[in-house]
Amino acid sequence: MNSAPNGPTLSLAALAARQLEGLPTAWLAFATDDAAVAVMRLQPTDPPALWASFVQGAERARLDALIAPADRARSVAAHGLARLLWAAATGYPPQAGRWVVPGSGAKPRLARVDAAAVALAQGGTGASDGGALDIGDGVGALDDLDVNVAHSGALVVCGVALGRAIGVDVEVVRPTPDLDEVARKICDPIEYAAMPPSPGSPAWLDAFYRRWVAKEAALKARGVGLAGDPQALIVDLAATTARLWPVPQPDSLPPADLALAELDVGPAARAAVVLLGAAPPRWPMTTERLAAWD
Ligand SMILES: CC(C)(COP(=O)(O)OP(=O)(O)OC[C@H]1O[C@@H](n2cnc3c(N)ncnc32)[C@H](O)[C@@H]1OP(=O)(O)O)[C@@H](O)C(=O)NCCC(=O)NCCS
């Protein structure tokens, strides 16, 4: 495997110094040696106009097709945030990333675009001197860097992980009448039986949304999304830190290749990140605030 300009690095220091700090919005970022997650709350002026310029080609066409301005802003923010984390992890400029969707319904990934494509995207000719970017010669170096985004309401979550798959999810808590029915569909019978009484109560909603985001983050890490079976994953909310494991081994320890962390995104939403991979998870994650979060 070739290496990126400065070798793939993924640390809070890299994130803070290179990309996140000083941006005109509120941030939280969480990181381990091999994974990082950032949370953004959109403000009326977000996402930064610069981020829209990152989005080119088919990705731009897809985002432009989103009719509601709020949806478009959220997706531009998610994609821009993903590029910033990707850039921090790889040392490449954010414009050097290209979203690739390997098939219908498949998990999108960020790949390094070649220099000619970058130049073309910037209005150049595609010749080697067509753009100001020097994106090195690390073609193919980052196949093992996984990226995933989620958005709900004004919240955007993005995660990147080196050498393992990552999935993230965020949901604004919305007490709608059909949630009990949804809970029956997504919960294993053991989990459903353990739900607090009174569907719709604050405790019930808390349990429901924590389970929902954990399961969806796991399915997104696996790349199947909602085509996967959320009932096949059990979330243990009783543990000090919520745990997640596949059915049918509810008595076993969570396997080392499925690690869940819940993200504190404030009282109005729940969010989670799940990492897959053979290496043992390095939880708990260290958490660092890069900017004020009120
Ligand atoms: C991905 C999926 C879980 C999104 O759910 P959601 O709650 O609406 O949206 P979220 O905010 O959680 O996540 C959206 C992001 O997930 C990412 N995503 C899309 N497909 C994905 C997949 N298969 N695995 C992981 N992540 C995926 C995208 O980057 C998307 O953001 P973008 O559209 O701005 O690029 C859902 O659309 C899905 O399951 N899609 C794949 C399966 C599918 O299409 N099945 C068809 C019917 S069976």
Does residue 250 register a pLDDT over 50? no
Atom 42, ligand 1: residue with shortest CA distance: 105
Does residue 11 register a pLDDT over 60? no
Mean pLDDT on 161-182: 92
State whether residue 114 is helix, strand or coil: coil
Q: How far, in Å, is the centroid of ligand 1 from the Cα of 180? A: 23
Mean pLDDT on 269-282: 74
Contact indicator for 166, 273 with CB cutoff of 8 Å: yes
Does residue 174 register a pLDDT over 80? yes
267 cis-preceded (ω within 30 degrees of 0)? no
**pLDDT tens digits along 73-113:** 888 888 888 888 887 777 777 888 888 888 888 998 888 77
Q: How far, in Å, is the centroid of ligand 1 from the Cα of 167? A: 10
Q: What's the rounded Cα separation, in Å, for the pair 265 and 151?
A: 12
For 153-167, 171-185, 272-286, which range has the lowest pLDDT when averaged over its residues?
272-286
With the most atoms of ligand 1 within 8 angstroms of its CB, the residue from 64, 72, 79, 107 to mutate is: 107
With the most atoms of ligand 1 within 8 angstroms of its CB, the residue from 168, 170, 220 to mutate is: 220
* Domain 168-275: CATH class, spelled out: alpha beta
Mean pLDDT on 131-143: 41
pLDDT at position 39: 84
Residue 283 phi/psi, 5-degree rounding, is -90, 160
In CATH terms, the fold of domain 12-164 is Ribosomal Protein L22; Chain A (3.90.470)
Residue boundaries of the structural domains of the chain: 12-164, 168-275
Atom 19, ligand 1: residue with shortest CA distance: 107
Q: How far, in Å, is the centroid of ligand 1 from the Cα of 132? A: 34
pLDDT at position 110: 84
Does residue 185 register a pLDDT over 90? yes
Same fold, 12-164 and 168-275: yes
Residues with CB under 6 Å of ligand 1 are 75, 78, 105-108, 148-151, 169, 216, 220, 223, 225-227
Atom of ligand 1 nearest to the CA of 74: 34
User: Within a 10 A sphere around the Cβ of 271, how many other Cβ atoms?
Assistant: 27
